[in-house]
Amino acid sequence: MATAEYDDVRIDDVQELEREIASQRDANVPIEMETRDISVWFAKRKVLEGVSIAFPKQSVTALIGPSGCGKSTFIRTLNRLHELIPGAALAGEVLYEGSDIYAPEVDPVHIRLKIGMVFQKPNPFPSMTIRGNVLSGLKLSGMKRSNHDDIVEQTLTSAGLWNEVKDRLNAAAGDLSGGQQQRLVIARALAVNPHVLLMDEPCSALDPGSTLKIEETIRELSKEITIIIVTHNMQQAVRVADNTAFFLATDGNPGHVVEQGPTTEIFGNPRDQRTLDYVNGRFG
Amino acid sequence: MSSTETEFRDLQSAATSHRGDRVFNRTITGAAFTALVVLAGITVFLGLQAIPVLQTQGLDFLTTSIWSPPDYGIWGMLYGSVLLSVVALVIAVPASLLLSVFMVFLAPTWVAKVLTNLVDLMAAIPSVILGLWAFYILSPVSEEWQQLLNQYLGWIPFFQNESGNFSGTPFTAGFVLAIMMIPIVTSVTREVLGRTPPELINAAEALGCSLWTMLRYVALPYGRGGLIGGVMLGLGRALGETIAVFFVLKIVFDPVNYYNVIESGGGSVATLIVAKFGEASGPYETQLLLAAGFFLFMMTLLVNVIANLIVNRTGRLQK
């Protein structure tokens, strides 16, 4: 009996130590983006309340939670797409490299170029070629970058698509498969040189093979840029994310963050009972 | 290899063996063919009138511009119909596009709804009413606009005016046609722009583009086929419009007004017919007018065929 008790204590200690190391490691990593007390309304309806999350540089953060808890809404506040919806309102601050992106002097176009986005449904421009799609961000924003050929090769390589399309860059983007289209869209987002990439359920419309490829791409990209990904797939969060935030909205109350921290903690040793239930598939 | 002959089951009659269904199907098929029969009937009727005219007047009927016995030629009128339509297009297409961009992308929902209804209502104004309005209200105002155009842009050949007479010009007639085209073109372009997939708009917004670049590179290319179709639909109306133009255009056979859009006098086949039909001097002049109608009909058919070709081609490119 005595040995068992001794073992329990030891396990607790080790976990405590791990937690400490994790938090110290986080403290040493510079923060790329941070939200402070974000609340969001659509017309009169409050859909998010008091969300504060820090996104360390060159890390992957997963936002998980059941449908309708405000994850997608939250991610759209991070590059000022939220404000394009009529009746949308917001309180709190979103800091990017330490300054508020909603400050009056900030140009939202500049923010959207630094903080790129990939959506749920692959959305290449159908009237453009593969190459045209990759370069479309430069064209649409009026951004000037030389070496278009290099950009096309680099970004398609980063997105894990180069080998599949290098011989038909002038083919219509619509001819690609769904998974290829999604990687093309990632390349398109990378071409304007963003520091942060937001991904709103990027694999939910894809088959398992394509999903795996996108996940590899995400891991690879996170060596260079900061990634924030909304996902319904908990295995995906475990596979790709360094940190995880769990969102929940109950009984008509606005969504909020129940728990956040290193992914291993959220899935292996959650502090909140609701997190434990959700990550074990008991609801959602 | 047991039997060399396969016995096919009769699927076609089995599928339509229900009697009510069979009657219904045949009625629908018959109705569909009625449209073809009417089209062929009109073509044959008008064509039969055109043959004797071509026999007596020769090809001069199409290449000269004169209407005094015994010589008749409608070149000026055919050309005038096209010129009026071009003037109308130049005014109506930008106006309709701006209007529909506003309704789809900028206006609050309730404003867009009110505008949609108003524009649809515009289409319901009988053309004779528009003609009266153009005669009493638009013409005097238009004369002042044209004087200004002539004063400041007179160095452009289109805006030259030697006579000092600014009434009954292709510009005024084209303007009335533009007003008639705007509701048609707007309702089609509004519909087409409104169908731009939201995920493409999202993509453009996330790439930091303005409304202008989004339209230029995403919405307009996406809806190109539909937009051209809408413009052609409006053009079809402009080419054939009779009564509104009749009120404001001075018909002149000679000289043919080729490009001086603010110079008094122009032509239009449809207006020629309505102007001369009541006072036709005899069966031969009536036949001449019917022949003119035949060539107007051919011209509108040609425009429609070209429009279809363009729409089909752009539609295919998109896939």
Domain assignment present for residue A146? The answer is: no
Q: Is the dihedral of CA B201, B202, B206, B210 positive or negative?
A: positive
Contact residues for B253 (Cβ-Cβ < 8 A; gap 6+)? B65, B66, B67, B73, B76, B77, B267
CB contact under 8 A, B200 and A123: yes
Q: What share of chain B is helix, strand, coil (3-state, %, to 5)?
A: 75, 5, 20
Of A108, A140, A172, the CB nearest to B217: A140
The reported pLDDT for the residue numbered A3 is 46
> A64 in a domain, yes or no?
yes
- Per-residue model confidence (pLDDT) at position B2: 53
Lowest mean pLDDT among A5-19, A40-54, A93-107, B198-212: A5-19
Q: Which residues of chain A does B214 touch, with a Cβ-Cβ cutoff of 8 Å?
A: 140
In this prediction, residues A48-64 reach a mean pLDDT of 94
Q: Which residue does chain A place closest to B109, by CA atoms?
A: A86
The minimum CA-CA distance between B231 and chain A, rounded to whole Å, is 21
Helices A148-158 and A130-141: crossing angle in degrees, nearest 10, is 110
Number of domains in chain A: 1
Does the structure show a pLDDT above 80 at A48? yes
Average pLDDT over residues A220-232: 94
pLDDT confidence of A2, banded at 50, 70, 90?
A: very low
Share of chain A above pLDDT 70, in %: 90
| Domain ranges within chain B, ordered by starting residue | 74-318
Q: What is the pLDDT of residue A277?
A: 92
**What is the average pLDDT score of chain A?**
88
In angstroms, what CA-CA distances link A52 with A33, A93, A196, B168, B262? Answer: 11, 9, 17, 71, 67
Smallest Cα–Cα separation from B305: which of B208, B232, B214? Answer: B232
Element (H, E) at B42: helix B19-57
Q: Could B213 and A84 be called an inter-chain contact, meaning their C-beta atoms sit closer than 8 Å?
A: no
Contact A188 B207 (CB under 8 A): yes
Query: From the CA of A88, how many Å to the nearest CA of chain B?
Result: 14
Angle at B240 between CA B237 and CA B245, to 5 degrees: 95
What are the structure tokens assigned to B64, written together? 């000269």
Q: Which residue of B has its CA nearest to A83?
A: B205
CA separation (Å) from A24 to A18, A21, A265? 10, 5, 15
* Chain centre distance of CA B180: 10
The span from the CA of A203 to the CA of A62, in Å, is: 13
Closest chain A residue by Cα to residue B214: A140
Domain contains A71: yes
Q: Is residue A79 part of a domain?
A: yes
User: How many CB pairs below 8 A link A and B?
Assistant: 76
pLDDT of residue A12: 60
A117 sits in which H/E element: strand A115-118
Alpha helices (H) along A64-204 = 71-77, 108-114, 130-141, 148-158, 162-165, 178-190
Chain B residues touching A137 at Cβ < 8 A:
207-208
- A209's enclosing H/E stretch is helix A208-221
Q: How many CB atoms lie within 10 A of CB B156?
A: 11
Residue of A nearest to B218 (CA): A125
Q: Which of A34, A63, A117, A65 is nearest to A230 (CA)?
A: A63
In chain A, % of residues over pLDDT 90: 68
- Higher pLDDT among residues A60 and A109, named by residue: A60
* The two three-digit tokens of residue B18, written as one number: 């229900």
Question: Is residue A29 pLDDT above 90, yes or no?
Answer: no
Q: Answer whether A275's CB lies under 8 Å from A259's CB.
A: yes
Find the distance separating the first CA and the last CA of chain A, reported in whole Å. 40
CA-CA distance, A201 to A117, in Å (whole number)?
11
CB contact under 8 A, B221 and A127: yes
pLDDT, tens digit, 9 for 90 and up, residues A166-193: 999 999 998 899 999 999 999 999 999 9
The two beta strands, A115-118 and A99-100, are: unpaired
Q: How far is CA B97 from CA A256, B187, B188, B200, B311, in A?
A: 44, 10, 10, 20, 18
User: Is the confidence at residue A19, as pLDDT, over 80?
Assistant: no
- Give the pLDDT confidence score for residue A4 in this predicted structure: 46
Which DSSP category does B18 fall into?
S
Retrieve residue B94's tokens.
């930008």
Residue B17 neighbours by CB under 8 Å, 6+ apart: none
DSSP 3-state assignment of A159?
Answer: coil
Contact A65, A275 (CB under 8 A): no
Rounded to an integer, the average pLDDT of A188-199 is: 94
DSSP string, A10-30: HHHHHHHHHHHHHHHHHHHSP
Identify which of A109, A119, A127 has the shortest CB distance to residue B222.
Answer: A127
Give the pLDDT of residue B272: 92
Handedness of CA B212, B217, B222, B227 (dihedral sign): positive
Q: Which of A222, A197, A202 is nearest to A79 (CA)?
A: A197
Q: What is the pLDDT of residue A18?
A: 60
Q: Would you tell me which CATH number, out of the four given (3.40.50.10540, 1.10.3720.10, 1.10.760.10, 3.90.420.10), belongs to the domain B74-318?
A: 1.10.3720.10
C-beta of residue A275 within 8 angstroms of C-beta of residue A245: no
Q: Is the pLDDT of residue A25 over 70?
A: no
Complete DSSP assignment for B231-294: HHHHHHHHHH--HHHHHH--B--SS---S-TTSS-B--HHHHHHHHHTT--SHHHHHHHHHHHH
The reply to whether A11 falls in a domain is: yes
Residues 18-77 of A with CB under 8 A from B: none
pLDDT of residue A26: 55
What are the pLDDT tens digits along chain B (319 aa)?
455 678 877 766 655 567 788 888 889 999 999 999 999 999 999 999 899 999 999 999 999 999 988 899 999 999 999 999 999 999 999 999 999 999 999 999 999 999 999 999 998 999 999 999 999 999 999 999 999 999 999 999 899 888 889 999 999 999 999 999 999 999 999 999 999 999 999 899 898 888 888 998 889 988 888 898 889 888 888 888 888 999 999 999 988 899 999 999 999 999 999 999 888 888 899 999 999 999 999 988 888 888 788 777 765 544 4
Q: How far is residue B114 CA from its own chain's centroid? A: 26
Q: Is residue A163 part of a domain?
A: no
Q: What angle do CA A141, A145, A147 make, to 5 degrees?
A: 135
Contact A30, A211 (CB under 8 A): no
Q: In A177-210, which positions are buried (b, 16+ CB within 10 angstroms) versus exposed (e)?
A: eebbbbbbbbbbbbbbbbbbbbbbbbbebbeeeb
pLDDT of residue A11: 56
> A99-134 pLDDT, tens per residue?
999 999 999 888 999 999 999 999 999 889 999 999
Task: Look at residue B225 in the predicted model and tell me its pLDDT.
Answer: 84
Beta-carbon separation of B204 and A140 below 8 A? yes
Residues A200, A81 contacting (CB under 8 angstroms): no
pLDDT tens-digit readout, A230-242: 999 999 999 999 9
Return the higher-pLDDT residue of A62 and A252.
A62
A126/B222 touch (CB, cutoff 8 Å), yes or no: yes
Relative orientation angle of helices A148-158 and A208-221, to the nearest 10 degrees:
120
Range of the domain at A55: 2-122+194-279
Answer whether residue A15 shows pLDDT above 80: no
Q: Tell me whether residue A135 is in a domain.
A: no
Residue A150 lies inside a defined structural domain of this protein? no
Cα B48 from Cα B297, distance rounded (Å): 14
Residue A99, helix vs strand vs coil: strand
B213 interaction partners in chain A (CB closer than 8 Å): 139-142
Q: Please report the pLDDT score of residue B70 as a whole number.
A: 86
Please state the pTM of the whole predicted model: 0.79
Within an 8 Å CB–CB cutoff, is residue A192 touching chain B? yes
Give the residue-averaged pLDDT of A31-43: 92
Nearest to B208 among A109, A126, A185 (CB): A109
Distances from the Cα of B104 to the Cα of A89, B182, B227, angstroms: 22, 16, 14
